[in-house]
Amino acid sequence: MKTPMATGFKLHADPEGKPVECKLYRGMIGSLLYLTASRPDIMFATCLCARFQANPKESHLYAVKRIFRYLKGTKNLGLWYPESSGFDLMAYIDSDYGGCKLDRKSTSGSCQFLGGKLVSWTSKKQNCVSTSTAEAEYVAAASCCSQVLWMRTQLRYYGFDIKKIPILCDSKSVIAISANPVQHSKTKHIDIRYHFLKHHVEHGTIEMYFVPTDYQLADLFTKALDEKRFTFLVGKIGMLNMS
């Protein structure tokens, strides 16, 4: 397979589907989750399939098998870290609004680069139900902010004091909410724990920048993509064929 998941594919509970052996399904998911530590290209597809471990059906098993078929054809694909990499920290964030068919929660995707090389990535269903795309993106940005602040703290132990960390987002609404105090009154429905992003933007620790959707690298971690876009993003995050 050219991609780990079919374009626009949406897994659901499939209550009428034929059940499959839970032990087999969970074993396959466990192996794939272990592999996501070095294969960010299968992160979204694996995490999506992992949501159905309690009651897996044949449709879920077929989706998992597609991931294995994709891996079989890309054995030599891996991340490349050249010796000359620097220590500039930056991140991309994106979300798939209401993407989960089970509870209509959105999916957050983010990836962090150190010296232009991918070092951290995540694809996770949000804890809350967002009422707009802006809210879903804002929650994703707050989660990404937590990650880069932790990475910033770790780098201090090695003598690197990084300030003004750029986070690239394809939502101008999120940038406005995080930078403009006037917008704060319109976001009272958003849980207060996500507004610490605004605090760090005001203090200059984090800087929010707009990036066109076509160049939003975190798109890889929020939805199933067609072959052309998937291949483009895989190359952009620094994965190379090692053969």
Q: How do residues 105-134 score in pLDDT, each as one tens digit? A: 888 999 999 988 999 999 998 887 877 888
Asked if residue 238 belongs to a domain, the reply is no
Mean pLDDT of 218-227: 92
Find out whether 145 and 122 touch, Cβ atoms under 8 Å: no
Q: Where are the beta strands (DSSP E) in the chain?
A: 77-79, 89-96, 107-114, 117-125, 165-169, 206-210, 239-241
Find out whether 207 and 152 touch, Cβ atoms under 8 Å: no
pLDDT score, position 208: 92
Domain span including residue 33? 1-78
Q: Indicate if the pLDDT at residue 182 is higher than 60.
A: no
Find out whether 125 and 105 touch, Cβ atoms under 8 Å: yes
pLDDT score, position 8: 73
Asked if residue 230 belongs to a domain, the reply is no
Separation of alpha carbons 140 and 149, rounded Å = 14
Residues 15 and 106 in one domain: no
Residues 66 and 15 in one domain: yes
Residues 119 and 141 in one domain: yes
Residues 123 and 27 in one domain: no
Q: What CATH number corresponds to the domain at position 152?
A: 3.30.420.10
Find out whether 146 and 112 touch, Cβ atoms under 8 Å: no
Looking from the CA of 168 toward its CB, the CA atoms found within 13 Å total 16
Residues 69 and 134 in one domain: no
Find out whether 29 and 61 touch, Cβ atoms under 8 Å: no
Residues 1 and 106 in one domain: no
Query: For the chain, what is the domain count?
Result: 2
Q: Which is higher by pLDDT, 139 or 91? A: 91
Residues 73 and 142 in one domain: no
Residues 95 and 65 in one domain: no
